[in-house]
Chain A
Amino acid sequence: MNEKYEAVIGLEVHAQLLTESKAFCSCSTKFGNVPNSNVCPVCLGHPGVLPVLNKKVVEFITLMGLATNCTINERSVFARKNYFYPDLPKGYQISQYELPVCEHGFVTVTSKDRDKKKVGITRIHMEEDAGKSIHDQAFETLVDVNRCGVPLIEIVSEPDIRSAEEAVQYLTKLRQIVQYLEICDGNMEEGSLRCDANISVRKKGQKEFGTKTEIKNMNSFRNLEKAINFEIERQIEIIEDGGKIIQQTLLWNPDKNEAVPMRSKEEAHDYRYFPEPDLLPVIITESWKKEIAAKLPELPEVRRERFVRDFNLPVYDAEILTLNKGIADYYEDIVKVTKDFKSASNWVMGDVLKIINEEKIDIKDFPIKAENLGELINLINEGTISGKIAKDIFPIMLKEQKSPLEIVKEKNLVQISSSSEIENVIVKILEDHSSEVNTYFEGKEKVFGFFVGQVMKATNGKANPKIVNDILKAKLEKLRN
């Protein structure tokens, strides 16, 4: 970014709530059902029907508000947001306007340099999702109403964010929180977590905000970062060339890596909000709030600190392990079996996360049970197998879902720790490689590794490396003299 400028960014994040039924009717919220099968007269917008609020939606948004340091308003009211689009059968979206449930919160984000920063949350409100339009037909648009009425919360940030990197950190934090609360699965690709960004730039030191634009359609963290950087550069270029920023909405095109303005007619919105007469106000009393607060789980930051304290882990490890609740649970299940906390952390951060990221699977679907991974670590520490053999057993565990001890027995992989057995192997190898032995005596100590390799080869990798090193050294010294 041009040194003279700074960016001012605010995010609007929509999170689809993990309720069984829709916000205002009893239809299923299940994703991927046959089109137009999760519908009823309420979500189809038939005349004369009345919405009834799902109590869980209020509980979920209150949890989110408490987890993000918001004030929970005692009284909140629904409003109608009016606009025409085929995937909105009623012609209005039920949302909240003047009296949302949550206001004045914040989350703390940590940058790569470990700097902490507060990002303010202006408000969090309840609303319903729209349906899905399919535009790939030649002459018509197809509409699937299944998603209509699925509950959402919209989280609006203060314009506190100053870079694309910070925006990614903020959204990562929100996703982490909704996943810990188990109120949203946080899947950006499937659209259960969506994000729009308001972006402006100004000269450093300038107090007033510049004219902002809004970017929509960023369905991954990568696209969010790319889109914001694109827009910051675009705006600075216009200002440097003496131009003016036009307030407009842009759509991010991930294939072309550019943001394209929506046609002015498409963005000419006048929503004419007014209180929704079909739904009564929601009152969250102090006692109900307390009841909900009692359900708050241990939040990511608290858990991270506990991991550092109880398992003696570096902050870096604790942060990675607690990023995702499932991963943190998995780690805690491992250390129920083994007391080698750091090894457990290394296995999870290395081998386990590698597979999860490569295969794009959820930790719930990871084939190795935590207790088996704990047992594998114990087998290494007890000297039953070497670390190298453990790395060979791991892929077998992925495929066969057997306990590591079973695999070790079946494939005869128990480490050879018998000194006499190893000594016999070494004596033979030194006899067979007399020229290498001479090279070693000439001062080329690297050849030592060659001997170790030969011993491992002869024992199928099962020889205890420490014992091999000790005996090999002793034998060579004996030969030298």
Chain B
Amino acid sequence: MAVTKKDVEYIAELARLKFTDEELEKFTGQLNEILSYVEKLNELDTSNVEPLSHPVEGSNVFREDIVKPSIDREDALRNAPDRNELFFKVPKVIGGE
């Protein structure tokens, strides 16, 4: 299953990244190299092995439903590239949600 330039464009679009034509060519090659390397794993027969969802053992790590003080709003907004007194500001999102 070779990766095409179109696939790379699509993945870049999903990640909101923009690449030059040159970069797209380069990444297409690199992604194909990585995939053919990992392809080696397909030589193993895993038909009787359950898919692994978590690499660590364990389950049921919970907290009780208790409210603890949050951080200060000022601290929350401090790292924002743009803000007003109360809100984060982002470029206008046009259209529906």
Report if B77 contacts A (CB, 8 A). Answer: yes
User: B55 touching A281 by the CB < 8 A rule?
Assistant: no
A83-104 residues at the B interface, CB under 8 angstroms: 84-86, 99
B45-97 residues at the A interface, CB under 8 angstroms: 53-56, 58-68, 70-71, 73, 76-77, 82, 84, 86-93, 95-97
A264 → chain B closest CB, angstroms:
11
Within the assembled complex, what's the spacing in Å between the Cα atoms of A44 and B73? 11
A59 → chain B closest CB, angstroms:
9
B67 → chain A closest CB, angstroms:
5
Within the assembled complex, what's the spacing in Å between the Cα atoms of A20 and B71? 17
Closest to B57 in A: A280
B26-61 residues at the A interface, CB under 8 angstroms: 53-56, 58-61
**Cβ–Cβ < 8 Å partners of A277 in chain B:** 54-55
**Cβ–Cβ < 8 Å partners of A263 in chain B:** 95
Within the assembled complex, what's the spacing in Å between the Cα atoms of A55 and B64? 6
Report if A142 contacts B (CB, 8 A). Answer: yes
Partner of A270, one of B14, B16, B59, B76: B14
Closest to B77 in A: A36
User: A27 touching B70 by the CB < 8 A rule?
Assistant: yes
Within the assembled complex, what's the spacing in Å between the Cα atoms of A27 and B59? 23
User: A41 touching B71 by the CB < 8 A rule?
Assistant: yes
User: A140 touching B91 by the CB < 8 A rule?
Assistant: yes
Report if A28 contacts B (CB, 8 A). Answer: yes
**Cβ–Cβ < 8 Å partners of A54 in chain B:** 62-65
User: B65 touching A20 by the CB < 8 A rule?
Assistant: yes
Within the assembled complex, what's the spacing in Å between the Cα atoms of A37 and B16? 29
User: A142 touching B64 by the CB < 8 A rule?
Assistant: no
Using known A-B contacts A19-B65, A39-B76, A272-B14, determine if residue A283 contacts B60 with beta carbons closer than 8 Å. Answer: yes
Within the assembled complex, what's the spacing in Å between the Cα atoms of A41 and B68? 13
Report if A262 contacts B (CB, 8 A). Answer: yes
**Cβ–Cβ < 8 Å partners of B61 in chain A:** 52-53, 279-280
Closest to A86 in B: B90
Using known A-B contacts A134-B87, A262-B95, determine if residue A275 contacts B67 with beta carbons closer than 8 Å. Answer: no
User: A142 touching B54 by the CB < 8 A rule?
Assistant: no
Where chain A touches its partner, the secondary structure class is loop
Report if A381 contacts B (CB, 8 A). Answer: no
B54 → chain A closest CB, angstroms:
6
Report if A405 contacts B (CB, 8 A). Answer: no
Within the assembled complex, what's the spacing in Å between the Cα atoms of A85 and B56? 31
User: A142 touching B89 by the CB < 8 A rule?
Assistant: yes
Within the assembled complex, what's the spacing in Å between the Cα atoms of A280 and B63? 13
Report if A203 contacts B (CB, 8 A). Answer: no
Closest to B61 in A: A280
Report if A145 contacts B (CB, 8 A). Answer: yes
Within the assembled complex, what's the spacing in Å between the Cα atoms of A41 and B69? 12
User: A44 touching B76 by the CB < 8 A rule?
Assistant: yes
Report if A26 contacts B (CB, 8 A). Answer: yes
Within the assembled complex, what's the spacing in Å between the Cα atoms of A28 and B54? 29
**Cβ–Cβ < 8 Å partners of A19 in chain B:** 65
Within the assembled complex, what's the spacing in Å between the Cα atoms of A176 and B78? 43
User: B60 touching A34 by the CB < 8 A rule?
Assistant: no
Partner of A56, one of B58, B65, B95: B65
B89 → chain A closest CB, angstroms:
5
Within the assembled complex, what's the spacing in Å between the Cα atoms of A216 and B65? 31
Within the assembled complex, what's the spacing in Å between the Cα atoms of A52 and B87? 26
Closest to A271 in B: B14
Within the assembled complex, what's the spacing in Å between the Cα atoms of A157 and B54? 29
A75 → chain B closest CB, angstroms:
8
Within the assembled complex, what's the spacing in Å between the Cα atoms of A85 and B90? 10
Partner of A275, one of B54, B56, B70, B92: B54
Within the assembled complex, what's the spacing in Å between the Cα atoms of A31 and B9? 41
A203 → chain B closest CB, angstroms:
32
Partner of B76, one of A36, A56, A272: A36
**Cβ–Cβ < 8 Å partners of A283 in chain B:** 59-60
**Cβ–Cβ < 8 Å partners of B76 in chain A:** 36, 39, 44, 145
User: A280 touching B82 by the CB < 8 A rule?
Assistant: no
Report if A188 contacts B (CB, 8 A). Answer: no
Partner of A84, one of B16, B59, B60, B86: B16
**Cβ–Cβ < 8 Å partners of A41 in chain B:** 71
User: B92 touching A137 by the CB < 8 A rule?
Assistant: yes
**Cβ–Cβ < 8 Å partners of A478 in chain B:** none
User: B70 touching A143 by the CB < 8 A rule?
Assistant: no
User: A141 touching B90 by the CB < 8 A rule?
Assistant: yes
Within the assembled complex, what's the spacing in Å between the Cα atoms of A86 and B90? 7
Report if A77 contacts B (CB, 8 A). Answer: yes
Report if A21 contacts B (CB, 8 A). Answer: yes
Query: Which of B14, B54, B82, B88 has the most A CB atoms < 10 Å from its CB?
Result: B88
Using known A-B contacts A270-B14, A280-B54, A280-B59, determine if residue A39 contacts B65 with beta carbons closer than 8 Å. Answer: no
B80 → chain A closest CB, angstroms:
9
**Cβ–Cβ < 8 Å partners of B67 in chain A:** 20-21, 26-28
**Cβ–Cβ < 8 Å partners of A144 in chain B:** 86-88
- Sorted from nearest, which 4 A-B pairs have the closest CB atoms? A26-B68, A142-B87, A55-B62, A56-B65
Instruction: Give 9 A-B contacts (CB < 8 Å), ordered by A residue.
Output: A21-B67, A28-B67, A34-B86, A44-B76, A55-B62, A55-B63, A143-B87, A144-B86, A283-B60
Contact surface of B with A, Cβ cutoff 8 Å: 14, 16, 53-56, 58-68, 70-71, 73, 76-77, 82, 84, 86-93, 95-97
